[in-house]
Amino acid sequence: MPTTLNKIAKQGDNGATMMPIIQGVGRAAIEIAAVLRGAVFRGALGGAGSENVQGEQQQMLDVLSDEIFLDEMRSTGFVCAVGSEEQEELLVIEEYSHADYLVLVDPLDGSSNLDVDGPVGTIFSIVKRKTANSERPHVSDTLQSGQSVIAAGYVLYGPSLMMVCSVGAGVDGYTFNPASARFELSHADIRIPETGGYYSVNESNKDKWLDGMGDNLDRMKIETGLGMRYVGAMVADMHRTLLKGGVFLYPADEKNTTGKLRLLYEAIPMGFVMEQAGGKAMSNGIAVMDIEPEALHQRVPVYLGSNTNVDSLLG
């Protein structure tokens, strides 16, 4: 019998409590994957005609994925509120507003890849509320550092459908098997190599990077001779970096002066997974996991990957 997501339930107290929510993420992933596969036939590719809170054009699939994810979190009965990259405000799940956990999500990361059938992903993390269960969940419940994350992970919609997640006891990867209609353990106890062969970044921005990162990258390239890979979807770039080693970065630049990637929906969940796999996740001079969030949609510079490569880039 293949090992399924049920493995998570056996990973200590956190695993047992997180299991229903992660199963909900799995159901959302299967639904989103089906919507992505059929999108071209349903006229669901392209803009939704709306902007998200960051002033970015939403794709129809961003909106659909957000709805699917929220519905599945509601159906678990364990989630009191969801903070989503696609929603300006914290979404309180009224029926379960007394529940213990909040989920932070980027429902469809890298959605600029959709028009060219490129990989996209879902990124999530789970925290326990700080407010009393009798109170209405509040945005302050989401403003907790990575040290408070109980579980986090991502879904990769690529040639196969994969979920990579951690409940704080290492990192496992599960691949959806269409024959059994289940996520099956395919990548047990993922450990990032101490050194990898690639750096991953949108290098076209280099002249506009702040904090001397252009010079750092040039120096690292000369010292290490690393090759370059960049998908432009963080989940895909993170996944390659996790399995093969190397470094992924998105520095602050003249346009995104505090960075582009979102602390709560992208940096912290990926930082959690990266550290659990033995790698490193840094922002400017501080570990991503030590940043105290100040706002739901806060952005930060991100440098994550193999210890050797992150150190050589930032060193």
Residue 193 binds ligand AHM (CB under 6 A): no
Minimum distance, C-beta of residue 63 to ligand AHM, in the bound complex (Å): 13
Q: Cβ of 229: how many Cβ atoms within 10 Å?
A: 17
Residue 203 touches which member of ligand AHM, Mg ion, none, C-beta under 5-8 Å by kind:
none
- Site residues for ligand AHM, window 65-94 (CB under 6 A)? 85
Residue 232 binds ligand AHM (CB under 6 A): yes
Choose the binding region for Mg ion from 103-111, 190-198, 221-229, 281-289 (rule: CB under 5 A).
Answer: 103-111
Residue 110 binds ligand AHM (CB under 6 A): yes
Choose the binding region for ligand AHM from 4-12, 37-45, 108-116, 153-161 (rule: CB under 6 A).
Answer: 108-116
Minimum distance, C-beta of residue 265 to Mg ion, in the bound complex (Å): 6
Taking CB under 6 A as the criterion, the residue among 233, 268, 282, 296 binding ligand AHM is: 233
Choose the binding region for ligand AHM from 7-15, 16-24, 65-73, 230-238 (rule: CB under 6 A).
Answer: 230-238
Residue 109 binds ligand AHM (CB under 6 A): yes
Residue 202 binds ligand AHM (CB under 6 A): yes
Residue 279 binds ligand AHM (CB under 6 A): no
Residue 109 binds Mg ion (CB under 5 A): yes
Number of residues located near Mg ion, criterion CB under 5 A: 2
Residue 56 binds ligand AHM (CB under 6 A): yes
Binding site for ligand AHM (CB under 6 A): 56, 85, 106, 109-111, 202, 232-234, 237, 250, 260
